[in-house]
Structure 1
Amino acid sequence: MPFMLLTNPWRLTLLFLVSGAATRFMADKTSVGKLTWARIARLLPPLLFAMFVIVPPQSYYQVVEYIALHPNSGLTVHNFWIRYATASGHWCGTDGECLTTPTWNHMWFVAYLLFYTLVLAVMLLVWKKAGQHIQKAAEWTLKGVGLFAWPILFLGMLRATLYAKYGETHALVGDHYVHAVSFSAFLLGFGLAKSEVLRDRLTAMRWLALALAVAAWAGWSVYVWTYRSDTAVPPPQLKLLMRFVFAADTWCAIVAILGFGAKHLTNKGGPALRYLTLGVFPFYLVHQTLIVVMAYHLAKLGLPQGLEGAILVVATFAGCFATYEIVRRIPGVRILFGLKGQPAGAEAKRPPAFA
C-alpha cells in the first residue's frame, strides 16, 4: 500500500499543470477560436468513445461483482451495453446504492480538462494577456521560501476545508475541492510554461523538493496504514496536520519532477521520447479497463498475491503498448485515442498528450 500512495497525492495535479503549460504554447500561436475548436476536436471524441466503448466493461464487472455478493438484489446484466448506454439499467441494490450510466470513470480527467480549456478560452477573450500576468504573479510569489510555503499552505487549506466538507466526486458539478486544486494547477501551468525564472528556481530546488516529498510520503503512508481500519479514528489535531502533510507531498513531488525534467529533458527529444509522449493518451484511455478486466479473472485463479500483482502490472503495460501500436496505424481510429490523423511514422514533434 505505501507504494500505491507514492503517486496518489500528485499525479493528476501534475497532469493538469502540464496540460495548462501545453495549452499556453498553443494559445500563443493561434486565436482563441482556433484553440477552442482544436481542444474540442482533440478531447471530445476520445471522451465519448471511452464512455461508450472503453469504460462499459468496468461497469459490467461492477454489476457482476455486486450480483455475486448480493444474489437477491434484483440486478441483472442482461442486454448490459444497451441498458448502460441508454441509462435504463436501474442497477440499484437493496442498500439503495445505484450505478449511474453512462459514466466516464477514470476519464473524468479528460472531461475536466475540456471544461477548463473552455473556461480559459472565455478568460482569454476578456483578459488577452492572462498568461503573461499569471506568469509575473507566479514569479513574484514563488521565490525563496515561498516556492514551497505558499503552495503547500494553499493546498493544505483546501484539503482542510473543501475536501473535508465535499470530498472528491469527479462528477463535474459540485466537485468543489477537485476543481479548486485542478483548475489552479491548470492556470499555474499556463502561467509558468514560458518562465525561465521559475525553471531555474525549480531546477535549483529539485533535490530539496525530492527529499521533502519522500519525507511527506513516508509520513502520509504511516498515517494511512495506522488508521486504515474503519474503527481507528485519528485525533482531530493529527488529522488536520496530515492534511498539510498530504499537501506537502503533492507540491514537493511536483517541484522535484519539474526540476529534474528541466535539468535533464529540456531541448532533448529523439524517436523514443516522441514515441512515448504520443502514447500517453492511448495508455491513459485503456489502462484502467485493462486492470479491472484482468484483475477480475486473475482473482479466480487463486494465485499468490505477489505473483498476481506482478502479472497484472506486466499484462497492463503489454496491453497498453499493444493498443497503442495498433491504433496509431489506423488513421480513422487514431482520433478516438487522442492522436492526430496522420499514420504512424509521420508524427511530428508537438506538445505532450492531453495538450
Structure 2
Amino acid sequence: MTTTVQRIDRRYDLDWIRVGAFFLLILYHTGMFYVPWDWHVKAPHVVEGVMPFMLLTNPWRLTLLFLVSGAATRFMADKTTVGQLTGARIARLLPPLLFAMFVIVPPQSYYEIVEYLAQHPSAPVGVENFWVRYVTASGHWCGADGDCLITPTWNHMWFVAYLLFYTLVLALMLLVWKTAGERIQQAAEYLLRGVGLFAWPILFLAMLRATLYAKYGETHALVGDHYVHAVSFSAFLLGFGLSKSDTLRERLVAVRWPALIVAIAAWAGWSIYVWTYRHDTPIPSPQLKLLMRFVFAADTWCAIVAILGFGAKHLTHGGPVLRYLTLGVFPFYLVHQTLIVVMAHHLAKLGLPQGLEGAILVVATFAGCFATYEIVRRIPGVRILFGLKGQPVEALARRPPALA
C-alpha cells in the first residue's frame, strides 16, 4: 500500500507551485486595494467587478502554501535530526519575522492611520513619533467604532509565524513518534483513494467552515484562530505525508481534469453567491449558507488537487530559473505587501485611470521585489533577515532548489 520514499529526493513540481503561489499572492494583495473588502489602504473608487477574479484564488491559495511548506519540511526532516530541523527552521523563519514586524510592516500601519485621518479629520489620533509609538504599543490608534490598531503587528507575516509554530508542533510529534512521516503518508494514501480522494477532504473542510469558521472566523492572531489552525495545520501535515508518495502523485495526476472542472464550477457558484449577497441584502437563508460551505470546500480542495496534479504531470524539471526564483520568493513575500501599500497610497493621488494605475502597481511591485532580492542576497549580514542563508553569492548557482 505504501510507496518507497527513499528514492524521492526532489519535487520540482512543488518548487514551481510554491513560486507560482507566491506570485499569485502579489496579484491578490494588489487587488485588495481595489475590492470593497477591508484592507490597510483603499482606492478612492472601489471596483466591485474585481471580486470574482479575487475569488479565483481566495479559497485555496494559503492552504496550498501550507501544504507545500509541509512537503518541504518532510524533505528536511528525513535528512536531519529533530533538533537540527527545529534549529534550522527557527534560524530561517524567526529573524525575518521579527525584522518584518519592526521594520518592514510599520509603513503599512502608518498609511492605514493616514488614510483613516483623511476620512476622519477630527479623530483624536495622530502619527507623531509613529515608530516609537508603534514599537511600544502606545499609539492608542482607535476608531470611532472602538476598534483599535494593535501594534507591533505582523500583518501579512502571519503566515511565517504560523509556519514556525506548526514546525515546532511537528518537531514535538517527531520526538514522540519517530515514524510520524511514514504513518501520516500511509494514512493519506489509505484515505485519499477512489471517491475518498474528493469526498473526505471536502467533507472535512465543509464541516470546519460550518462550525469553526461560523463561530470564530479568521483572525490571524495565532491565539484563538481555531478555524485557520484546523485548516492550515491539516494542510501542513498532509503535505508532510504526500511529498514522497508516488501513489498519491499518480492519483492526483489521474484526476487532474475532473478536479479542475469541479473547481471551476465551484468557483462560479461561490462567485455568484458572493456577488448576489455582497451588500448583505437580501439575507441568505441558513440552508443556502450551509450549501455554500460545501461549495467553498469543493473549490478549495479541487483547485489544490488540480494544481498538484497538473504540476506533477508537467512541472518535472528544475534549472537556473527555478533556483533563482525559489530562493527569491521569501524576500518577495517579506516586502511585497509594504511595497503595494506605500505605492498604492501615493499612486491614488495622481488621478490615473484605474487600469493604468493597477498595471503600474503590479509592475512596480514585482520590480521592487526583484530589486530587493538582488540587493539583500549580496549582503551576508542582511541575508538572514530576509530568510536567506548567509552564504556568498557565488554559492547560489550551486545550491539546489529547496522549498520553504
Do they superpose with TM above 0.5?
yes
Instruction: Using the TM superposition, name which of 182-191 and 334-343 deviates more.
Output: 334-343
Question: Is the 2:326–2:401 contact (alpha carbons within 8 Å) kept by the matching residues of 1?
Answer: no
Aligned to 1:325: 374
1:283 aligns with 2:332: yes
Superposed structure 1 runs of 4+ greater than 6 Å apart: none
- Asked whether 1:351 is paired with 2:402, we answer yes
Q: Deviations over 1:112-148 (max 9, x none)?
A: 0000000111111111101100100110100011111
User: Residues 96-175 of structure 1 correspond to what in structure 2 (within 5 A)?
Assistant: 96-175=146-225
User: After superposition, where does 1:246-261 map in structure 2 within 5 Å?
Assistant: 246-261=296-311
C-alpha separation in 1, matches of 2:363 and 2:279? 30
Of 62, 73, 96, 2:123 maps to 73
Aligned partner of 1:61 in structure 2 is 111
**Corresponding residue of 1:262:** 312
2:233 pairs with one of 183, 200, 203: 183
CA distance in 1, matches of 2:343, 2:285: 39
| Matched AA of 2:206 | G
Q: Distance in 2 between matches of 1:309 and 1:260?
A: 30
What amino acid is the match of 2:114?
A: V
Amino acid corresponding to residue 17 of structure 1 in structure 2: L
The Cα shift of 1:61 comes to 0.5
1:5 pairs, out of 41, 48, 55, with: 55
Separation in structure 2 between the aligned mates of residue 240 and residue 73 of structure 1, nearest angstrom: 40
SS at match of 1:3: helix
**Gaps (5+ residues) in structure 2?**
1-50
Cα distance in 1 for partners of 2:282, 2:351 equals 30
Question: Deviations for 1:157-188, whole angstroms, at most 9, x for unmatched residues?
Answer: 10011001100000000000000000000011
Q: CA deviation at 1:343?
A: 2.7
**Cα deviations by residue, 1:229-263 (Å, 9 ceiling, x for unpaired):** 13332121111111111111111111111111111
Tell me the equivalent position of 1:304. 353
2:284 matched residue in structure 1: 234
Instruction: Name whichever of 216-225 and 160-169 sits farther off.
Output: 216-225
The residue number in structure 2 matching 1:315 is: 364
What 5-or-longer segments of structure 1 have no aligned partner? none
Query: Which residue number corresponds to residue 211 of structure 1?
Result: 261
Q: Secondary structure at the match of 2:126?
A: coil
1:201-227: CA deviations, max 9, x gaps? 011111111111111111111111111
- Cα deviation code 1:78-101 (max 9, x no counterpart): 010111011111111332111100
Distance change in 2, residues 1:229/1:123 (3 Å): same
290-299 or 102-111: bigger deviation: 290-299
Number of matched pairs: 352
Structure 1 stretch displaced more, 310-319 or 162-171? 310-319
Q: What residue identity is the alignment partner of 2:145?
A: D
Measure the CA separation in 2 of the matches of 1:307 and 1:241: 39
- Decide which of 334, 340, 344 is 1:295's aligned counterpart: 344
Amino-acid identity (%)? 85
TM-score under structure 2 normalisation?
A: 0.85
Structure 2 CA distance for aligned equivalents of residues 351 and 138 of structure 1: 23
Query: What is the alpha-carbon distance in structure 2 between the residues aligned to residue 34 and residue 85 of structure 1?
Result: 32
Residue 74 of structure 1, CA deviation: 0.8
Which residue identity lines up with residue 255 of structure 2 in the other structure? Answer: M
Q: Does 1:50 align with 2:113?
A: no
1:284, distance to aligned residue in structure 2 (A): 0.8
Question: Matched residues in 2 for 1:157 and 1:283: separation?
Answer: 34
